[in-house]
Structure 1
Amino acid sequence: MLKVEGLTAFYGQSQVLFGMELWVEAGEVATLLGRNGMGKTTTIRTILGLVPPAGGRVAFEGRELAGQPPHRIARVGIGLVPEGRQVFPTLTVLENLVATAANRDGRANPWTVPRVCALFPRLAERAGNLARTLSGGEQQMLAIGRALMTNPKLLILDEATEGLAPLVRAEIWQCLATLKAEGQSILVVDKNVAALARLADRHHVIEKGRLAWTGTSAALTADPSLKERYLGV
């Protein structure tokens, strides 16, 4: 579904990505792992056109995305839950959900407000509340719900559970497991390797802007040195 090859990117004169590669198959959950500052968010932002690629290829269902503006990339079926959630603070929960709603592929069972609220009952309870009044966990639920309302073919989550309380993190992981069971393709960035190993089919480890390792959950958990080399503080 998604294939990234030889991706390079800069912030000004500083090069951040040095031929980064990753791929996501339809219906699978894939991860992007690495220490802080290794290029995870830059990879996501470059895929989505928020950072212009200096070189390489980004293909989605065979369509070339590199160099396309972000709004066109979003319309091909990629939904983003950004780092820091970035909900619309002065809109209500309901307004956040409907602001980006779309069903461009004409799905028979699209994501709707009632369906999102069934996934996250707390959003139904706070439908009329301004987003800025929600807790961090509730804002993350809202950010996920808002992305789902675009009915994406691929859902990307950048720092899926960062800064959340343990009970809320567990709820987010359960949500992602539910989405996977429904066949949703997902690319997730997070630091909780144990939770990701239980959820994901494929892992990509980034080191200094390059793909350092890729493999299955079984391979990741079988080699403790991987965590020490690439993921430890």
Structure 2
Amino acid sequence: MDEYGSEPKDVLREWERIVRRVRRNAAEAVAGLDGPGDPAAIEAAQRRMGVVFPPELRAWLGASGLGRLRTDDGRNAWVAFGHDGVLPTGGLLLCLTDIERVHGFKQSLAESDPPDGDHVDWCSRWVPITAERDGFSGRFLDTRTGAVGAWSEGELPSEGLHPSLSAFLRAAADELEGVPAAPGDGPDVRGRQGPDDEAVRAWARRNGYAVNDRGRIPSAVREAWQAARAGG
């Protein structure tokens, strides 16, 4: 096991489980995800981002179509090429081009609004691996610890939702296969729908709040919705 607590072979095994299951049920969702990645493009992306990908992330990108650059066609969305329908908890899997785009987007926001005290919205060592189309929520891999965390607009980032990349992929593969969650895989509820989520989103849009189509609804929006209901 390497210093990040996740062996590349474990990551590749769990990734193959995901691909097999999705290909069986929705082959179009994994179109373009077959490997290999482009090692030179992966190295160049690290240099441009100013981070060093941990071995398990390099292995995952190197063995899949996620590790190839896509031609930027000027799309306005921060996630231009994300793969939908692969992860059971929602969110778009990011290819190398999207990883750079979202990382740069989050970095620019962090630099324009420096942290206040211990409040940190984003760290440069965090590498986004999934996101919504607008880039306002998603999951990241901490290159220092190897853990997978999540961010969402209006919320403090959640670090350590999964102890490693292989644990994150294993939880996704288990859910696709109907396997009960294993202890220690860590909770991952940001992509799940709550019973009132659609009602909250509909109310929020009618009242001028910006909310994503999926992912966690900011607590301030939910509290405003609850207050409006209580007030009749």
Please report the TM-score for the alignment, with normalisation by the length of structure 2. 0.28
Richer in strand (by share):
1
**Greater fraction of residues in helix:** 2
TM-score by length of 1: 0.28
More RCO (CA 8 Å, sep 6+)? 1
